[in-house]
Amino acid sequence: NAGVTQTPKFQVLKTGQSMTLQCAQDMNHNSMYWYRQDPGMGLRLIYYSASEGTTDKGEVPNGYNVSRLNKREFSLRLESAAPSQTSVYFCASSEQGTGALKLFFGSGTQLSVL
Amino acid sequence: DAKTTQPPSMDCAEGRAANLPCNHSTISGNEYVYWYRQIHSQGPQYIIHGLKNNETNEMASLIITEDRKSSTLILPHATLRDTAVYYCIVRAPYAGNNRKLIWGLGTSLAVNP
């Protein structure tokens, strides 16, 4: 059981290049998330998808787009990368329900934008 | 969602209990207390959560004070592999489309041999 799988693990981009970070989960979870983590700061939510077919902005959505391709997959796209987007990106998933929010995270993508 | 306060760092001897405190004095009656940890370079890992009663699972115990203004995560027999940043988060149950958890900087726990 793989859980949440992210690809790639590392990526270096030049300013202005585009790329897509891929995320897939095999736990049949309804909700999926993209976070970024910068030194000295807590994790910040970029976008999330409460269920298949829906997406919503989080705290820091500017410069990003997302696609909830199906129940398993949730991708994050940088259309024109900027140095400020250098960060570690984590994908997560959770059950959809009215109770506690228990997140399962992938192993992260370390992105450098030069 | 209520804010939390955690010490920035703690040390613990291997084999001893690690007691990680969290202050959440403005917690509301329906807010859960969650604990996650992040081992260096990995994604955060869920540990435990609770509402009012103390909770225990295979990883840790969570002690919540009667007034719910603070809590303690207990790792009963810390190992070197428990060296990580531990995050305490409080949040109300899912309502509408709000799925956000507020992540602070956590407590960096060093387990020493």
**Of A56, A96, A104, Cβ closest to residue B46:** A104
Residue B96 has pLDDT above 60, yes or no: no
Rounded Cα distance, B43 and B87, in Å: 12
Say yes or no for a CB contact (<8 Å) between B105 and A42. Answer: yes
End-to-end Cα distance, chain A: 36
Considering only alpha carbons, which residue of chain B is nearest residue A110? Answer: B41
| CA angle A60–B49–B80, rounded 5-degree value | 90
Q: Would you place residue A40 in the very low, low, confident or very high pLDDT band (cuts 50, 70, 90)?
A: confident
Check CB contact under 8 Å for A42 and B102.
yes
In the block, residue with structure tokens 């992040």:
B38
Provide the pLDDT for residue B3.
85
pLDDT at B56 over 60: yes
pLDDT at B65: 95
* Cα A67 to Cα B64: distance, rounded to the nearest angstrom: 39
To the nearest whole Å, the CA of A91 is away from the closest chain B CA by 9
Q: Select from A56, A105, A106 the Cβ nearest to the Cβ of B97.
A: A56
Report the gap between the CA of A103 and the closest CA in chain B (Å).
Answer: 7
Is the pLDDT at B95 greater than 90? The verdict is no
Statement: residue B4 has pLDDT above 70: yes
pLDDT digits (tens, 9 = 90+) for A94-114: 886 656 678 999 999 999 999
SS (H, E, C) B37-68: EECCCCCCEEEEEECCCCEECCCCEEEECCCC
User: Distance (Å, rounded) from C-alpha A5 to C-alpha A65?
Assistant: 19
pLDDT tens digit sequence for B73-86? 999 999 999 999 99
**Proportion of chain A above pLDDT 90, given as a percent:** 75
Rounded Cα distance between B27 and A83, Å, is 37
Nearest CA in chain A to B87: A42
Quick one: CA dihedral A27, A58, B47, B16, positive or negative?
positive
**Chain A interface includes B17 (CB < 8 A):** no
Q: Which of A23-27, A38-42, B9-13, B31-35 has the lowest mean pLDDT?
A: A38-42
What is the Cα–Cα distance from A110 to B7, expressed in whole angstroms?
A: 27
Give whole-number Cα distances, A111 to A10, A74, A79, A82, B43, in Å.
6, 18, 14, 11, 15
User: In the β-sheet with B107-112, what is the strand arrangement from edge to edge?
Assistant: B9-13, B107-112, B84-91, B32-38, B45-50
Of the candidates B32, B34, B43, the beta carbon closest to that of A108 is on B43
The predicted structure's pLDDT at residue A46:
94
